[in-house]
Structure 1
Amino acid sequence: MIKFVLMVNRQGQTRLSRYYQPVELGRRAALEADVVRGCLYRKKEECSFVEFKDFKLVYRQYASLYVVVGVTESENELSVYELVHNFVEVLDKYFSRVSELDIMFNMDKVHIILDEMIQNGHVVETNHSRILAPLGALDTLAHS
């Protein structure tokens, strides 16, 4: 099961966070700081899977952004690794070459995409067209 999804830049600033298990607000900042330190300071040659406290971290770097997913011990790391890539592909398709600014200024749309893919910590959709269908409908409605 997926516990959380974070998107952070190279400076360690959180650009997106979605928690699928309750975490107190006071603990979130500390958790995110620990996670960022655990992933950003690793060498490129090192594995993208990290044992962390009572769960695992799966992360991927895209330009200046890191996507980090916290998962339970029983979750398949490779499937989560591919899920991260699929998420970024969908963002690229919608924003045509997604950037950190796209994430920051279109947070609602990024959350819609993520919510179409993951619900209650479980992957529910991976098809790009089905994931983008609600946004297409919203965009059509906004332009009419």
Structure 2
Amino acid sequence: MGIRFVLFVNKQGQTRLAQYFEHLSIDERRALEGEIVRKCLARNDQQCSFVEHRNYKTVYRRYASLFFLVGVDNDENELAILEFIHLLVETMDRHFGNVCELDIMFHLEKVHFMLEEMVMNGCIVETSKTNILPNSAHGKGFLIYHYLVNTFFFPFMQLVVFWIVEIC
């Protein structure tokens, strides 16, 4: 497999986004996140961005007040994962315009869409920013979805509500 998990964490150690590509129980996830986040936040800028923990190799990078952590298999290329993290941040920058912690908190579903466009089942499948953004909650797919919901679903729901009000 390749990528096992992706975490976005702020400087205080609060997880802002967690995406797992393998099954772990909630308790295992909580313990894993706590241990890895403590290890990464305790390191200084002069140390390398690779940490081995349990059976994972964690590659992390800090951008402003956020840490981007990616847990991978031990045989994965660390520099390629650093490049993936940079691509992810550049993609979010292009979408949000200088992405910050609040953008991720208030638009969590959009960030998840971007991540799902880039990674499938732990493998990086898309690296083109132009291909990632149109499908990630603001492009053609998103517009078609909103068109369908607004044209068919909401009028139907209004009709149902009107019908229920008339009966009562």
TM-score range, shorter chain: over 0.9
TM-score (norm 1): 0.96
Rounded Cα–Cα distance in structure 1 between residues aligned with 2:27 and 2:38: 18
Provide the secondary structure at the position in 1 that maps to 2:76.
coil
Q: 2-side partners of 1:38 and 1:120: how far apart?
A: 26
Cα displacement (A) at 1:139:
5.3
Q: Partner residue of 2:120?
A: 119
| Higher RCO by CA contacts (8 Å cutoff, separation 6 or greater) | 1
* RMSD, matched Cα: 1.4
Q: Aligned residue for 1:79?
A: 80
- What is the CA–CA distance in structure 2 between the aligned matches of 1:23 and 1:111, rounded to whole Å? 19
Larger Rg: 2
**Structure-2-length-normalised TM-score:** 0.82
How far apart, in 2, do the equivalents of 1:97 and 1:138 lie?
A: 24
Note the 1:1-144 alignment, pairs <5 A: 1-134=2-135, 135=137, 136-138=139-141, 140-141=143-144, 142=146
Q: In the aligned structure 1, how far is the partner of 2:86 from the partner of 2:140?
A: 24
Name the SS for the 2:134 alignment partner: helix
SS at match of 1:3: strand
Output the amino acid matched with 1:128.
K
| Alpha-carbon offset, residue 13 of structure 1 | 0.2
Tell me the distance in 2 between the aligned counterparts of 1:31 and 1:50. 13
Gaps in structure 2 of 5+ consecutive residues? 151-168
Q: Which whole-Å deviations, capped at 9, do the CAs of 1:47-92 have from their partners, x for residues lacking one?
A: 0011111110000000000000000011100000100000000000
Residue 140 of structure 1: CA displacement? 3.8
Q: Give the match's secondary structure for 2:27.
A: helix
Partner deviation per Cα, 1:8-54 (whole Å, 9 max, x = no partner):
00000000000001010111111100010110110101000111111
Identity %: 48
